[in-house]
Structure 1
């Protein structure tokens, strides 16, 4: 059943990311004259299009921390259901909103989509913490999160085809919406927050997971969140900084690098759908290799779990840093080498799934959703800062020297946050993972022990004194 759950969560991340990317491709068709009789929004300027594309993140930041807290207290099943079902409905309504309300209504739809998708990752991380045994954590965790790359690949390769079909650009959003609704039905039937609450799981598998996952065996019993312990925990700050550096570097790479390649290297990667998808394909494939290798090294006791986390987080962050430096000094017009470096950069970044992403669960399976909500929320702010950094630093888009400043900022972040991670990360379950017993419970246990001792003394004929 844990494998069924992993497949469902994998499909969830795949569909959710596909809906995020759908607008990136759909907006091109929406503003194009070749739309098979469907409404055309040719009056949308570059500024309006950028506003529409960024509006998703305005909502995405808001509910990250509350979602992590709620999922930690009450479980993630229904938060994930609300997230995906609402995303599906919004996608189905988006074409009508665009026709009736123009770009303002589209922005409103994207903000709502961002709000509800802000519930997804914190909830999913908490569910993973309860369902995945330590020995399978790298493989199943990577499998689930690699759906993000697959969703991006599928959307890049299919949205253009759908938009160019007689069904036109609305079909891009209809397909995305229907996919979300179908997933929501499957999740409602088969999904559960914990093995303890699942009606499909066998008793043997439940015992196996509860023995090896490190989470609360009773399920969700409204465990209070130890905020002070979390916020004063150095390994947690190592995760937070690694997550923030990852988002700044990766989103600078994916949102702004195509502009650099076009304006400085005279290479337009967006003209070729296959080339656009290639970096994501590399990241998707290599993430599975890294996850298998991580579990192999730990389960064979070749390295400790914390050493594995350090190795793969270094590959994920210092590897792209080196590749970015190489790309910033690449001669103009060299398409093949540019695409190879970009593909290697994204491919190496796939190791972060078995780096800091799973460290939340290592530290505290019971509070993984809360920590994920916190780090993902802060990380989302750095995702927004990525394009703003380019706007602030790059005065001449054709100047290689200006773009190098942007790359040096990303390289510096990658280097420093991973260095902090190497120094302070831990893979040990923290003492604050389990709730402290109440004073009444402690007194009860003490009295119970005294009664047992008295009974034993009476049975043996001995006196208490």
Structure 2
């Protein structure tokens, strides 16, 4: 009896600890908490980020002059409505088949009424201004944002670790929004050069946003909620893209192309005020957080150091195969991501003859499906991990493979579908929707393996991946410049199909979910080892 007493005591204490843990978790789940406010405002922040990033993608459809037949020697011919380019060669862009699906009848009448009666002088002087930009110039304009974007990824992560992510994230969005307000005037005054410079500056400002929000997530997301919180935040990416594609089409038809830049800029100013008042760097700095929620969050964070500014272990980062697995997966996915976001409005307009409003809806639908599937998968993966049906790394690999192989299959469907609009739209939606599973894959992986360097790793990964943000539109522009045909688009779509499948194999082979030994400073890691001993 006496021999078993210590074991019984330990068992009782262990049971009490488990009960306390369960009670803490239940308290943390009760009601609306400050972490939920952070997620909602962070979500809206990403909605604005991507609306600001891709407002040009929908506006450029109306900003560019329709091609005349005299231009056919170097690029596609365009009909009078600027929706159906035709090649002079044997390979022709598809004839328009969707007139009966056009959504512009009602808004077209409203457009005429508003612009002719309310503000004809202002509208005619700027809103109907169009530009003679070649396909190559359009590719440069669409990619100009990313020249600046890749340069501030690492600084954004490092600044967030040192000074706190709240203002790094919000000021990046604020500056991007303010610059959006001046785009119409700058473009009309300085043409291509002016617009490229503004887009470059917008990229510099917005480059800090993703690394900084991941630093905040490492402080605010309990392990049991990490997948859901990450997906709700990053759901702003497809939702923001969808909003600008849908609303942008109607705004342009009603008020002209400058309206999309003005609306997104004004919305950013309003959001910034709410973020500044209601969100804080960490739970411990929040003046209105309850003790129960604070304890719940802090007791469910793993791997974070108590030091505020730790050195970046570059040698360990660059020699880590699990880190390289994240880098390469992100790089391969980026081509698909930016082709879907940047080029699809042009593809739907030129290949399938969609008008501006129809274009907006069909460009937005893939993003809405991406968001829906991403959130559903997040809840499912959190459930699977919490019940231990699958290990964390198996879950990450399954989600990553679904995203990359699914996107590849979707692009192949678009290629094989040719001029079949239904096949093209279904394949496009599948490719975009299945990509939403990536937020439960490699996107969240670095918070698990190196939470103290999550912003830095994210910054480097995005710098590498987002190089394709300007390379992909530029290469697509070069392909279509001299081959603006169905074959040209099929060649452009084949690149992400091959790349997505290839990079998934590296991630499957070398990814991990274990905290890396170099995550913590040497002194802190040594202290933990001695305590365990």
User: TM-score per shorter chain, which class?
Assistant: 0.7 to 0.9
User: Displacement of 1:404 after TM fit?
Assistant: 4.8
Report matched runs for 1:218-229 at 5 Å: 218=306, 221-229=308-316
User: Displacement of 1:405 after TM fit?
Assistant: 4.7
Deviations 1:7-65 (A, max 9, x none): 11111100110111222233444457987324243343235444332221121111111
Change (3 A) 1:343 1:43: closer
Q: Is the 8 A contact 1:71 1:369 kept in 2?
A: yes
User: Displacement of 1:368 after TM fit?
Assistant: 0.6
2:173 paired with 1:98: no
| Corresponding residue of 2:332 | 245
Secondary structure, aligned partner of 1:429: coil
Deviations 1:108-154 (A, max 9, x none): 22111110000111111111111101111111101101101111111
Report matched runs for 1:65-214 at 5 Å: 65-166=154-255, 168-214=256-302
- Select which of 133, 141, 147 maps to 1:45: 133
Change (3 A) 1:174 1:216: same
| Corresponding residue of 1:414 | 500
2:467 paired with 1:378: no
User: What runs of 5+ residues in structure 1 fail to find an aligned partner?
Assistant: 450-465
2:418 paired with 1:322: no
Q: Is the 8 A contact 1:196 1:217 kept in 2?
A: no
| Corresponding residue of 2:428 | 342
- Select which of 509, 513, 517 maps to 1:431: 517
2:153 paired with 1:64: yes
Secondary structure, aligned partner of 1:329: helix
Deviations 1:373-402 (A, max 9, x none): 0000110112322234435666633253x6
2:452 paired with 1:366: yes
User: What runs of 5+ residues in structure 2 fail to find an aligned partner?
Assistant: 1-33, 67-111, 116-122
Whole-angstrom CA distance in 2 between matches of 1:156 and 1:256 = 12
| Corresponding residue of 1:460 | none
Whole-angstrom CA distance in 2 between matches of 1:51 and 1:392 = 10
Change (3 A) 1:18 1:12: same
Change (3 A) 1:103 1:216: same
Whole-angstrom CA distance in 1 between matches of 2:490 and 2:467 = 23
Whole-angstrom CA distance in 2 between matches of 1:143 and 1:212 = 19
Q: Is the 8 A contact 1:126 1:369 kept in 2?
A: yes
Aligned length: 438
Change (3 A) 1:228 1:210: farther
Whole-angstrom CA distance in 1 between matches of 2:479 and 2:246 = 33
Secondary structure, aligned partner of 1:186: helix
Q: Is the 8 A contact 2:62 2:130 kept in 1?
A: no
Whole-angstrom CA distance in 2 between matches of 1:364 and 1:338 = 40
Secondary structure, aligned partner of 1:303: coil
- Select which of 336, 347, 352 maps to 1:267: 352
Whole-angstrom CA distance in 2 between matches of 1:123 and 1:386 = 25
Range 205-214 or range 97-106, more displaced: 97-106
> What is the TM-score normalised by the length of structure 2?
0.76
Secondary structure, aligned partner of 1:289: helix
| Corresponding residue of 2:5 | none
Q: Is the 8 A contact 2:156 2:207 kept in 1?
A: yes
Whole-angstrom CA distance in 2 between matches of 1:109 and 1:170 = 14
Report the aligned-residue RMSD.
2.7
Q: Is the 8 A contact 1:213 1:365 kept in 2?
A: no
2:304 paired with 1:216: yes
Q: Is the 8 A contact 1:260 1:397 kept in 2?
A: no
2:342 paired with 1:309: no
| Corresponding residue of 1:462 | none
User: Displacement of 1:161 after TM fit?
Assistant: 2.1
Change (3 A) 1:404 1:28: closer
Q: Is the 8 A contact 1:243 1:379 kept in 2?
A: yes
User: Displacement of 1:356 after TM fit?
Assistant: 0.7
User: Displacement of 1:315 after TM fit?
Assistant: 0.6
Whole-angstrom CA distance in 2 between matches of 1:71 and 1:337 = 44
- Select which of 28, 34, 37 maps to 1:4: 37
